[in-house]
Structure 1
């Protein structure tokens, strides 16, 4: 009888542990993202249903537009974040205020920090997020697809005849990025040469005199009308503008490669045009 009772108690404990384990795994995380890129990444690995709050500018996919806003690029609202009772806050190591992130940590809110690295580091970020959010299978699929597409683009375009290009992030002030920035990799993949040389600043403010002196062959811009005020530029004289959805090229997400492919294909048209002109 004693053995039977002891066995019964052990069985009840085992079932209890199993139930606790199942409930723990089934219980959804409550996640907040502090950059539009991270919002996209969470959806990309199939974990969008874990999101309870996002940063301003999180507009993809459309479901993200229905989520509470917890702040913007300049600051986050700690009170709103606390009211959403997150289990995890996803941050960019170089994009969010350390002071505010330290405050979140002091309040006992767990965080996961992603680095703004190189394009070929994005698959690892996807895998890490997948592991943290219990979506490893979807994350692995997305990571492998990204790696295949990135390799294919490099093989197809990176060794093509180089063209000089200017890629403004803003025009007032005139700002672009240095070769050290991850965004420069998009140009390298397409066989394009950034007119901004090596600088100690990743995103330098430039002078218009510098632009006129460097005189790029191509300009990446969705507003070619603006540039007509500078007819002395080669790119304006030849009307050689590349138009790409800025969200593709400014956010490090799987959609970035859609932008890179469009960038490469348009650059190749101008490359062939230049080749014909030299015959």
Structure 2
């Protein structure tokens, strides 16, 4: 399938996100290695191995039966924030509390999908949810949003199993009629992979998933490439139960100066059919390429 590289995310002198995963996978001046002639066959064999290990496995079943958000777990009030200062405060997690928050809450909350399936997940308290919302940052003289209270309600999020309604804390914001919504339930743990990582495979591990199209026919992931290369490329192996992504670097032109730098980019991958409940996997790690909400914690591994 085709891939399309969108905007650069950030240029890093040392790409901390990938340091542990890359290990010995290096190339020009210590930057990610480009895939040469014959290396694509190695990637293809590894992709088949990863797909075979996951398809029909207990790990795949746990993935499909879990709660894995595919959209942000925090929603600004309907209609959006009214000023540039408020929008900046929202992005910076700049909040102050002026009011009381509920001291008690149920221990569990029900995640409900449109097909009737449900799942009970642990419920976070209002105070804990507020601390995650505010991020522990000192506001000082910076623009901020003021929380005056909260109540337990619900919100809709996209998940690997389709749209779901989940419990949410509805935080009242000073100056706004509608509340800010933040998920009150935790995501399921990511299943233990049924296949070990293989970092000797040409290319490099992928980062997180950024977004999925409404029809599930394309996914956008964070990929790494060195300044020596022409950009990242992502090959796709689709099976009935999984989609395996193999990231590599387009070979650079001969000659020229090469520095030890890496660039993170968003790469949009087109699929032959909707991702659905298939597991999106990385060929190098053998693990799911999970979605990390911009205003929520990363899911943990089981």
Q: TM-score band, normalised by the shorter chain?
A: under 0.3
More strand, by proportion: 2
More helix, by proportion: 1
Give the TM-score normalised by the residue count of structure 2. 0.24
User: Bigger radius of gyration, 1 or 2?
Assistant: 1
Give the TM-score normalised by the residue count of structure 1. 0.25
Larger RCO, structures 1/2 (Cα 8 Å, 6+ apart): 2
